[in-house]
Structure 1
Amino acid sequence: MKKLKKLMVIALATICTVVLFAGCGSSNTGGNGQDAQNTLEKVKKAGVLKVGLEDSFPPMEFRDNQNVLKGFDIDMANAIAKKLGVKAQFVGTEFNGIVLALKSGKFDVIISGMSITDDRKKQIDFSKPYVQDAQIIVTKAGNNSIKTSKDLDGKRVGVALGTTSENVVKEFKNIKEVKKYDKTTEELQDLLIGRLDAVIVDEPVGRYYISAADKKGKYTVLSEKLTKEPMGIGFKKGDKELEAAVQKAVDELQKDGTMSKISMKWFGKDIYK
């Protein structure tokens, strides 16, 4: 009888423990899901949309000589926030760790010239594309030794860490050296001073650098496009309410002509026509 009582006590304790841990597990899972569902509510309650970005990617986002943050994504994010009835707060993050930072809750969305890729879609959700991007090759003006991607053989090529440029360069097996940088501006500077022969970079950046007044005549952008890559806004997995609200805002900004104005300002053409 004592044995039976003892067994009953052990069984009851085991059941309680299982229920307790099951409750904890359920709470954690539900908490994550609930956090995702309530992000929009939190944003509106706080009056702030936290935007993650890497601030050295002109003309999408960069700091000018007075350290003022500006660019296509900055104007778009401010316009989106206004549509939501809040203000945008920008959180600078190294691009190589920006997805992890979003997943950990450091900010609410990524608006940082991010290409939509299958690998990234496994980790985060995306809006519909708002810019059609491509990977291109930039050389120093006057360097006639590189006219196509085939001429990268035996050359020193720069790419930015965590970007799709880093993946593209892997396709070229005979490059002499691949140098990786935290910031796009750093690799383009090294290109100018002769530490690199070429840079593989997103097209908006390359186009900006050949058209900007202080960069004019310093770079050459090859006509060849190595990839086609749509850019999108990144969200935590399952963050559907915020994603729907942001997408609605972007759709309205395209319809009312705001996106066209931002495009003309930073690209010199209306990419939405």
Structure 2
Amino acid sequence: MMKKITTIILILCISILSLTGCGKSSTSSDSLERVKKAGVMVIGIDNTYPPMEFKNKSTGNNEGFDIDIANAVGKKLGVKVKFVPNAWDGIFLALKAKKFDLIQSSVSITDDRKKTLIFTDPYIYGGNAIFVKADNTTLKSDKDFPGKVIGCQAGTTAEEVLGKLSGLKDVKKYEAMTDAFLDLENGRTAAVVTDPMVGDYYNITEPGKFKKLKSSLTKEPIGVAFRKGDTTLRDAYNKALKDLKADGTLSKLSKKWFGIDIYAE
């Protein structure tokens, strides 16, 4: 009888240990604890999207509004920040493959993306604005798109929106927005559709080349994207963003990169 009781107790202990993983499973699934233990937060970016995130040609460093925010969040969380550039059309697959911990790279929050990702609250609003050459007087809205070649970045919501429009001669997709605006400048496309702050940055740095049309295709909330299970890291990141807004850091960075405080009440 004693042998049987001992065997039963042993089986129960093994079962409990297998279910709890000796108490380690909760630690391994805690995304915030994982990052803090590593001492570094790895962030996926598409560094071809000025002024949000781009590679400075002179220094080789990653710069931009998102870069500055991510570095500020890293300080709040007490960890270093490492940026990993990735082509936009594969950036969500790279996150799923754990190439990085999160994506802060002008990610529009959409219902489709929320099926596989979790997000912070929006920290800026973008969308699909229309940019043309400064001397273009014939293209005034998307109603003038039929028969035209329109440029956008591959894998973005702009590609999705343009794909639903009829009559376009072609939708030219680019890996880098820098190439899209270069083609627009050289007349290879009639217009480029992208986030308004991206096109506005070109108008600041290269005045007189482009203009933004009054009409736009969509307005979209932008947030930081995480894998579905990484709620503790997302929550801590979201709190840090709120703190950075409250202490005026986001306003300061807005003025630095956009020339205005987009957070002013």
Q: Is the shorter-chain TM-score for this pair beyond 0.5, marking a shared fold?
A: yes
Cα distance in structure 2, aligned partners of 1:120 and 1:99:
9
Q: Under a length normalisation based on structure 1, what TM-score does the superposition of the two structures give?
A: 0.85
Cα distance in structure 1, aligned partners of 2:186 and 2:61:
26
1:240 aligns with 2:231: yes
- 3-state SS, counterpart of residue 59 of structure 1: coil
- Quick one: which amino acid aligns to residue 62 of structure 1? F
- 3-state SS, counterpart of residue 228 of structure 1: strand
Equivalence for 2:152: 159
Cα distance in structure 1, aligned partners of 2:154 and 2:127:
17
1:46 aligns with 2:46: no
1:219 aligns with 2:225: no
Cα distance in structure 2, aligned partners of 1:123 and 1:267:
31
Cα distance in structure 2, aligned partners of 1:121 and 1:110:
14
Cα distance in structure 2, aligned partners of 1:203 and 1:123:
26
- 3-state SS, counterpart of residue 114 of structure 1: strand
Q: CA deviation at 1:34?
A: 6.4
% identical equivalent positions? 47
Cα distance in structure 2, aligned partners of 1:98 and 1:187:
19
- Aligned-CA RMSD value: 1.9
Equivalence for 2:51: 59
- 3-state SS, counterpart of residue 88 of structure 1: strand
- Quick one: which amino acid aligns to residue 269 of structure 1? I
Equivalence for 2:131: 138
**Of 206, 216, 241, which aligns to 1:250?**
241
List per-residue Cα deviations over 1:49-88 (Å, max 9, x = no partner).
1000100011100112312211000000000000000111
Cα distance in structure 1, aligned partners of 2:254 and 2:90:
28
1:94 aligns with 2:82: no
- Quick one: which amino acid aligns to residue 62 of structure 2? L
Equivalence for 1:174: 167
Q: Under a length normalisation based on structure 2, what TM-score does the superposition of the two structures give?
A: 0.88
- Quick one: which amino acid aligns to residue 187 of structure 1? A
Cα distance in structure 2, aligned partners of 1:100 and 1:254:
30
Indicate how the Cα distance of structure 1 residues 217 and 102 shifts in structure 2: closer, same or farther if over 3 A, else same.
same
Structure with greater strand share of residues: 2
State the 4+ residue runs in structure 1 displaced beyond 2 angstroms.
none
Equivalence for 1:127: 120
Give the count of matched residue pairs. Answer: 245
Equivalence for 2:63: 70
- Unaligned stretches of 5+ residues in structure 1: 1-22
Equivalence for 1:149: 142
1:228 aligns with 2:183: no
- Unaligned stretches of 5+ residues in structure 2: 1-17
